[in-house]
Every structure is written in structure tokens, then in C-alpha cells.
Structure 1
Amino acid sequence: MKAAVLREVGQLLQIEQVQIDKPGPHEVLIRTAAVGVCHSDLHFIEGAYPIGKPVVLGHEAAGVVEAVGAEVRTVKPGDHVITCLSAFCGHCNYCVDGRLNLCVSDEVKRGQDEPARLSLGGQPLPNYFNLSAFAEQILTHEHAVVAIRKDMPLDRAALIGCAVITGYGAVVRTARVEPGQTVAVLGCGGIGLSAINAALIAGAGRIIAIDTAASKEALARAFGATDFVNAATSDPVAAVRDLARGGVDHAFECIGLPKTAEQAFEMLGRGGAATVVGMIPPKQMVSIRGSTLLQEKRLQGSNMGSNRFPLDMPRLVDFYLQGRLKLDELISRRIRLEQVNEAFAEMKTGEIARSVIVF
């Protein structure tokens, strides 16, 4: 099959022929229909996060099941599915406690004594987030996919698998925003816009979008923002505290920088919660003023929106088909696999929401 391969940090992805194995007992083979180009992949391309190479990246996908292993019970050939990088085993302490997104069991991977799911020139490849979705096919564990209704367009469904579930889940599951509360969202990329949309669905009274690109204002307001702060021309903390009369109930950092995480905490009102959604590089530190903790402010992380994706994703599909979840507006352009490097170059400009590779 054709796939986009990263061979070295900082290099362009190469379109190569990669070999894919047959499904094991609990595995699913998917014909990829669409995959979003996510900023998380860029972190690995640039070396901010380590990974074995060569490797096929990509994780925000949707497609059609082609074949399943003998013990698969959750999907069948012909099903339309969304993938999710937070694969779960179903019986560890985290899974039993309902925190599927925190499962780190190796049971969803192949063992070292088994053949690799993917190989290149006879050499095994890492299976990136159990998916490696920048490819014509995906081979993964059944607990990394969920079946959805077939009237859902797959190019839009793909976005639910990462950007949407991460932004929506951070608001609804991690922070549990209540009707009437005030919300600030730092960063109006795919995840930030999804968080804004989720805050609207949750009934937030005021939703303040923050970005350094003035061009994002119209898009942020279309997704539900009531206010927009241009962080390139004004102090975002002062602006938000003024708009929210002292501070917001919830702030969501959707960029992945220590500075913006600190700003999210500083713009809280008493008893507020700042939720860091962005991927801050491992060795970077976040500093807060300890005295403000006496105001019962909280700084917390969110992993993949604290999702329970077998429940959440079909619901989000329903929201889209009801007109409540905005996905069409999230797609800046549809591209071919061969244009993946162009998509990453455009991502760095900060001017687009999401590029989607369509097969």
C-alpha cells in the first residue's frame, strides 16, 4: 500500500510502498477514506517528541472495515468507522474506572514475538499510536475504532477522531463546563475551534476566543465565540479579565506552550479551572503563582478530552447531522496524500484550521 513515511527528524515525508499484515484475532483492517493533518504529527516530525524511525505518521482517520480477526465482536466488514489513538484494553484499573483514555496496556499492540503490523523493505515499522494512518490502509486493534452510521460523510467523520473529540471532551468531560459559565479558549486551530463549539453546545454564557491571527476571528465567532482577543496586539490576560469582570470560570489552552498555559491560569476568576489541552514538549516547565491557589484555582491536563470514544463519537456524529457540531467549517482544504508536506507547511503559518487527506 501507499503511505507517507518519516525517515528522519526534520525531513519531508516520503510517499513509499509499505507492506501491511493480515488482521490478528482482535485486529481490524480498514480501507482509509480520509485522515486529518494534525499538529501532533508535526511535533514528531520536528523532534519535540521522540519516536522510532522510519515511521508512518497520521492518526485522525475514518474509513471502511475490510476484514476483521476471528475474535473481533465490535465491528464487521463493511462498517464505517472512526479511529482513535487512545486504544483501550477494557479491563485494567483505568478502563474499569471509566477512564478509557488513560489506558496504557500493551494488549492493544502486537507482541515482540509477533510479526509487525507494518514493514518497509522487509524491516518492521513502529505502529504510530496503533494507527499509522497516513496510508491507504490501517491495521489496528478493535478497541481503536468505533462504528458509526453510514450517512455520515467520512471526510468530516475523520476529524472527530482527534481534533473534535479532544476539544469537545476537554470542555464536556474534563472540565465539565456548566450552562451560563464563562469560557476562554487560547488558540483557534482545529482543537480550539472544537472547544469553542463544545462550549456553545454546553450552554456557556460567554465564550472568549484568543489567537494571534486576526483572520481567525470570523471563524471563531462562527463556531460560537461571543468575543475575540487578538493576542498579537493586546495583553490576553488583561483583556479576558476585563471582559469576564475579574476572570473566567474555565480557560482552555489549545496550543501547547508553557507561556499560554500560564496565561490560561492567570485569566481565571476565583474557583476557576485552566485545562491544558495542547502538547507542551516534555522538558518544558509551567510556572504559576502559588498564592493564587488559595483562591481555589486549578491547573489540570486533558488527555484526548478524557474521552470514552465508543460512546462519544457516535453522539458527535449525531450532533453533526443535527446541525449542532460544525465540521464543514473546520476543513480548510482537501488534499491528496502526496500533498501532505504542503499541509504541514501551511499549518505552520497558523492561518488554516484543518487539511484533510482524502483517498
Structure 2
Amino acid sequence: MRNRITEMFGIEVPIFGFTHKPEVAIEVTNAGGMGALAASYYQPDELERILTDMDEKTRGRPYCIDVLFANKVGEVVPLSERLKALPKEHIDFVEKILDDAGIPALPPDVEAQMLREKPPGHGHTEEGVLEVLEIVVKHPQARFVLSAMGAPPAYVVDKLHGHGIRVGAMAGSAEHALKHVHAGVDLIVAQGSEAGGHTGTISSMVLWPEVVDAVSPIPVLAAGGVGSGRHIAAALALGAEGVWCGTIWLGSSESELSPDMRKRFIAARSQDAIQRKYDTGKPLRGLRSKWTDAWDEPGAPEPLPLAAQKLLVAPALKRLELANAADYMGYMAGQVVGRIKDERSIRDIMDGMKSECVAVLEGLSATA
């Protein structure tokens, strides 16, 4: 396929693969698309090692870095001050969930490591993003930076352009997309409410053409519910010039999920991907679990805002992960999770999406 997106980045197909795991980003990139690594949660020295490895394994191909320029973060508090900074009601509620589930306390070495790391929510702040970008600009194959939660400041866009890096931003409405355009971005990712992670309220079928019309001639990637070649063809028909996918990779053999969590994703239905504020303080779509069920119970406290909610739940989520308490672990998931039926490789998923898209487009052409 050849269009403005493939020409802009020198890639074979306009499929962008969002992930928290470098290996997934590498595989999507080497399959002809562009892997997009969520970088805000890594420590600076860790990110440097990761990008150096990605440079080597992608063999000169470009990749994307996803960051979180949140418009409203709230006060970021060190984990060491958690007990003083948070309401006792919320702390007691979280502890009760863990105690009732029999989840062990954090090992001392893990707790010490978390105290040394940047505070929960720091990656959403402008300071935290700038720390990431200082590393990103040293890696020429990082050709695209996407702001996933808000408009990037114009001075940041200018700085990245100065390094030859294209800049994009994610939008959940046409109004948001126009703010991003005014900041000087090169493309927009229009993310429908079906998507995993932080989303708006407008569905993809409605949102994609609205954003395309609003920001023309800026190119648009379609996100939210994309997991097959038919979805890609639909996105192209609605005016997008490529797609941004995240959930569909989570059932792959290379994904960051544990074997038990991967089984949960394969068994999940579309309606099991629910939107709640329990993990970050902002609406986030993820897989329903006993953790979300507990927060849904009558009498549960209201979630705190970002970044206080992240400070509240960070130790709890780590304890659940270490205990491999899959029934309590949700992870981000879009409604397209219902399409994950078995464990496949990233290469197989990419090949299937490409071939199905071609078949659909050829079939529609013959029909017309």
C-alpha cells in the first residue's frame, strides 16, 4: 500500500502497533508496519537500553514512541508519602480487597525498588515526558512521537521537528483534534470509545469521519476497535489513511501478558472490556476483573483524580502481578478483545490483517 502515511515514514503498510512491550513493537515494525512503544512508565536508564536494543533489532526501520501529555495531572506525590497524602478510607478499602483475596505483601526488595523509581503519575506530567524525549531524540530510528492524552506544547513539537521527528496526537473528538492541529502536529490519531486505555465517549464509526473532515488535509489514523483487515478497509473508507491498534496484540505469543492473563484475554467477550476510573483516576477501558467488581460494589469509595488514584493503587497492582492473581488483574483492553480467539504470533496477525484488507478492498472494487 502506498499513501501519505507510508511515504511519510517509509513503511510498507500504515498499521501502527501500540504496546507496552518492546518485543511487540519490534515485531510489528519488522512486519512492515510501525511499532509504537509506550515509554512514559520506563525509568530513563531503562528506556535508553530498550531503544538501543530496538535500534539493533529493527535494522534501520522507523518506530514510534508514545508519551502521555495529560492536561490535568494533579499533584504528583512520592510513594514514600502515600499514607499521609491519601484518604484513609481509600487506603483501607484497597487493603481489604487484597486481604480478602489473600494477596501477600510486597517483598522488601520490590518495595525498595518502587520507592526509588519515579512517583506514580510522574510519566503523565510535562516534566516526565520531557525526560523521555531527551532520550528519544538520541535515537534516529524513533521517527514518530505520539502524545496520547493531550495536546503537546507547541515548543515540544518544534523541538521534535528540529530533530526530524514527526509528531502526532490522539483525539477523542473533533474539537480535541483541532487543538492538536493548532499545536503543529503532523497527524492525528482519532480514537473511538471502543479502544482500550484512556478513551472519550464517541464511537469509532462516528468519530473517524468527523475528525477526518475537521482536520483535512492533516492525515488521520483510525483507532478504537481495529483488529482485522476488514476494520482497516472500513477505516480507509471513512477517510483515514492508516490504523492504530493495541488490544489485538495482547493475545499474541510475544505480548507482555502472563500465560494465565493471555488465557483470560482469549476467553474474553467484547462486553468484558469495561470503562472505569479505578486504575488511573481517568476513564480507562480494561478487562473486567474481581478488582473492578470490588470497586463497583455499593459502598466503595469514589476513585480519586489523577495522579492520586495512581498513587493509591500502584502497590496493590504490583502485589496482584507478583501473586499472579489473574482473576484480579484486568489490564487495558478494547472491545475488540472479543476477536482474540487463540494465541498467534505478531507476524501471523499482521499477515492476516494485510491479506484480509486486500481481499475486502478488491471485493468492494469488483462490486462497485
One fold, TM greater than 0.5? no
TM-score under structure 2 normalisation?
0.28
More helix by share: 2
TM-score under structure 1 normalisation?
0.29
